[in-house]
């Protein structure tokens, strides 16, 4: 098993914001079970702000920790601020990820962005 930082272990052992939002404003799915990692993010948006963020993840310890960290970083942020959550920032907040696990932080940021895309597509469609 890879050696993870204390922060990764903390988020893996006690993941924040696990679950599903009923009637979410946006849903984003990234990854593929064939590759071993898959994340689904749910967002609730109020006044252009991510009022709630939840996730479900199939994957390794890093994938679960990344999902937890992304949800924590995104919660309460405006859409524009949440868009600025990059894989590098996620990895930095987690005090680093093993090189071969960095793709997990890509997945987390991408899944969140897809949820935002989904929200915007629905929002602008209905406006």
Partner 1 sequence: MPLEFKKRTIISEFESPFENFRTVKVTGEVRVCPLSGHPTRRLPGAASFLVEFIEGESMLMLMNQKGIAASSGSACTSRALKASHVLTAMGIPPEQAHGSLLFSFGIQNNEEDVDHVVESLPPIVETLRKMSPLYDKFMKGQRGG
Residue 99 has what DSSP assignment? G
Task: Name the β-bridge partners of 42.
Answer: 27, 54
Q: Which of 5, 49, 61, 72 binds partner 1 (CB under 8 A)?
A: 61
Distance between CA atoms of residues 20 and 39, nearest Å: 12
Among 11, 24, 26, 40, binds partner 1 (CB under 8 A): 40
Write the Ramachandran bin of 86: left for phi over 0, alpha for psi from -120 to 50, otherwise beta: beta
Binding partner 1 by CB under 8 A: which of 56, 77, 122, 123?
56
Site for partner 1 in 84-123 (CB under 8 A): 100
Of the residues 35, 76, 88, 121, only one is catalytic, namely 35
Query: Which of 5, 10, 49, 58 touches partner 1 (CB under 8 A)?
Result: 58
**Residue number, 47 or 114, with CB nearest to partner 1:** 114
13 counts as binding partner 1 under rule CB under 8 A = yes
The residues with which 49 forms a beta bridge, in sequence order, are 46, 78
DSSP state at residue 39: E
Cα–Cα dist 94/117, whole Å:
25
**Across the beta sheet with 26-32, what order do the strands follow?**
26-32, 37-46, 49-58
- Looking at the Cβ atoms of 35 and 121, the one nearer to partner 1 is 35
Interface contacts to partner 1, rule CB under 8 A: 1, 12-13, 15, 18-20, 29, 33-40, 55-61, 63-64, 100
């Amino acid at each position: 098993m890879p050696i993870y930082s204390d922060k990764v272990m903390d988020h893996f052992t006690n993941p924040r914001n696990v679950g599903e939002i009923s009637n979410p404003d946006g849903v984003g799915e990234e990854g593929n079970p064939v590759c071993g990692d898959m994340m689904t993010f749910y967002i609730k948006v109020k006044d252009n702000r991510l009022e709630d963020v939840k996730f479900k993840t199939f994957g390794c310890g890093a994938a679960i920790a990344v999902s937890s960290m992304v949800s924590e970083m995104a919660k309460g942020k405006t859409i524009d601020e949440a868009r600025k959550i990059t894989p590098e920032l996620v990895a930095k907040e987690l005090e680093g990820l093993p090189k071969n696990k960095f793709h997990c932080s890509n997945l987390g940021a991408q899944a969140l962005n897809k949820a935002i895309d989904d929200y915007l597509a629905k929002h602008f469609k209905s406006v």
